[in-house]
Amino acid sequence: MRHQQAAAVRRKQGEAIGEELRNQFQHLLAEPLPDHLLDLLNALEQQESET
Amino acid sequence: MSVSVTHKAEMGTKRLGDFKLALVEVLPALRAFARSLCRNAVEADDLVQETMLKAWSARNSYVEDSNFKAWTFRILRNALYSNWRKSSRLTQLDDTVYEKTAKAIDNAETSLELAEVSEAIRHLPLEQREALILIAAGGFNYEEVAAITGVAIGTIKSRVSRGRSSLIVLMEKRAYQRTRISALGAAQELMNDADRLARPALVAG
């Protein structure tokens, strides 16, 4: 019984951690992309189409 | 002949545009993954930039209709490991390091649970950290993560399980430390009160 309760607590803790990791990832996903990364892609495309 | 060349060029341009668009689409996820693994934003953005350049150079090796996101994540991961190996900054978490880590986390002055998880996960071995992030947050399944990391599905399951357990232990230690600090603070206040109450009696005596 005690073992089952401990397992249930651990499972809840694991779920909470998963939730926090998802929140953290979503927060990072929502950050605006730096211009230099998009500029680099445009430059690569332009360079390729010129050659 | 010229029609064929023109058609080929059009197809090439279209493919190039498609490839660029696909990269733009996965950029936020790549960046979030890099930010989760690197120590700071500058290092993460450098890694994403390197990944973009490598993906662009290797675009002909990308198998059409295969999982593009997983393909780019694998490039990013390989670049990260390669860079860290070069600079010998990759450290494995053994028991001694684990103890030090737990102490470091105990001493961290963060109050939000999110910050605590974020802090704690940085102290996990990289293999466990990436497996946890990819499965729990990145939206990949075990099979995809196994393909990204180049290990068996069972290994990924084991890494996720061990990573989650380590995080729980670290978080519990943090919570215990917080309670202990609060209890010690309360005890100290009681002692101060007792001291204050005793003083007039001593003076009077």
pLDDT tier at A13 (50, 70, 90 boundaries)?
Answer: confident
Q: Which chain B residues are closer than 8 Å to A16 by Cβ?
A: 113
Of residues B92 and B46, more confidence is placed in B46
C-beta atoms of B20 and A17 within 8 A: no
A32 in reach of chain B (CB within 8 A): no
| Chain A residues within an 8 Å CB radius of B132 | 21
Supply the pLDDT for residue B2.
Answer: 46
Angstrom distances, CA of residue B32 to CA of A28, A31, A41, B171, B200: 5, 9, 18, 23, 62
Mutate to test the interface with A, among B35, B105, B166 (most CBs of A within 10 A): B35
**A7/B contact by beta carbon, under 8 A:** no
Residue B121 confidence (pLDDT): 85
Residues B94-118: what's their mean pLDDT? 48
Residue B110 pLDDT level (bands cut at 50, 70, 90): very low
* Angle (nearest 5°) at CA B62 between B58 and B65: 160
Using a CB–CB cutoff of 8 Å, tell me whether A46 touches chain B: no
B143-196 pLDDT, tens per residue? 999 999 999 999 999 999 999 888 888 877 766 666 666 666 666 666 677 677
| Confidence check: pLDDT of A36 > 60 | yes
Q: What is the predicted pLDDT for the residue at B98?
A: 43
Residues of chain A neighbouring B49 (CB-CB closer than 8 A): 36-37, 40
Residue B10 pLDDT: 54
Q: What average pLDDT does chain B have?
A: 78
What pLDDT score was predicted for residue B114? 54
Does B52 contact A34 at a Cβ distance shorter than 8 Å?
no
Q: What is the pLDDT of residue B180?
A: 61
- Sequence-ordered list of residues with C-beta below 8 angstroms from that of B155, at least 6 positions apart, any chain: B146
In one-letter notation, the amino acid at residue A33 is L
B189: closest CA of chain A, how far (Å): 33
Tell me the mean pLDDT in the region B110-124: 66
Higher pLDDT pick, B44 / A8: B44
pLDDT beyond 80 at B9? no
B37-62 per-position pLDDT tens digit:
887 889 999 999 999 999 999 998 99
Angle at B86 between CA B83 and CA B89, to 5 degrees: 80
CB pairs under 8 A between A and B: 84
Task: Provide, rounded to the nearest whole percent, the portion of chain B with pLDDT above 90.
Answer: 40
Is A44 at the interface with chain B, CB within 8 A? Answer: yes
B 145-164 residues with CB below 8 A of A?
Answer: 164
Q: Token pair of B14, please?
A: 């279209």
Which has the higher per-residue pLDDT, A42 or B201? A42
DSSP E strands in B147-192: the ranges are: none
Residue B75 pLDDT grade (very low, low, confident, very high; cuts 50, 70, 90): very high
